[in-house]
Amino acid sequence: MSETVTKDSSSENLPPVELANKYDATQLKNAVDDEIARYYGKEQKFVQSHVHTDMKLFLGYVSCIIAGGSFYYEYTTGFRESINVTTISVIVFWILQSIAFAYSHFIEKNEIFMGTQYSHGRPSATLRISGKMEKYTSKYPLTLTYSDKLTNKSATTKIEPNVATWFTTKGTLVHDVIDNDLKSYVTTLQQQLHQE
């Protein structure tokens, strides 16, 4: 994997993001996803949508409540008396887990950021970013879709940055480098909209 060694800007008051192993694709993806949400949320003023997270949390909490309720019922009544309730609880639990899997696979579709910009209290633009990082690579294919709500136009671009270049040799995220790249992605999409 190629990399760029750059000193992080001390002018920003951002906490350092350090990876234990910058060659671990899961760590890279998680750090980059968090930075994408931070940059577009704070710097570009997109209000992030948490619909996907809320839905998965809801399904998870309901599953836990069912499991806890089933356990408590079995504990208070005994195994033989609660076998029907336990069986139904297990079936409902697996149905909820199947719904969570289907939601993640068919609706969320590797979406890592969805945000809306507001102007004078009204939505002016949306940005949707999705991507899936494969194991054993530092390339992170991303699809960015920018929609201008005022003109009803949208533009999409696919990029494949080498995310290892956003980290130092010690695994520390270089905020200036990633922020400049993230800014250029949105600027390019906005320019595409104005050219049409």
pLDDT surpassing 50 at residue 37 = yes
In sequence order, what are the residues at sequence separation of 6 or more whose Cβ sits closer than 8 angstroms to the Cβ of residue 89?
66, 67, 69, 70
Residues 103-115 have pLDDT tens digits of: 999 999 999 999 9
Banded model confidence at residue 9, pLDDT cuts 50, 70, 90: very low
The mean pLDDT of the chain is 90
Label each residue of 85-151 as H, E or C: HHHHHHHHHHHHHHHHHHHHHHHHCCEEEEEEEEECCEEEEEEEEEECCCCCCCECCEEEEEEECCC
Banded model confidence at residue 21, pLDDT cuts 50, 70, 90: confident
Residues 140-173 have pLDDT tens digits of: 999 999 999 988 999 999 999 999 899 998 999 9
pLDDT value of residue 126: 96
Rounded distance between C-alpha atoms, residue 142 and residue 184, angstroms: 14
Residue 138 CB neighbours (<10 A): 21
Residue 9 CB neighbours (<10 A): 12
Banded model confidence at residue 196, pLDDT cuts 50, 70, 90: low
Q: How many helices (H) and strands (E) does the chain have?
A: 4, 5
12 vs 40 pLDDT, higher one? 40
pLDDT value of residue 24: 86
For the chain, the structural domain boundaries read 25-49+112-195, 52-108
Average pLDDT over residues 41-49: 95
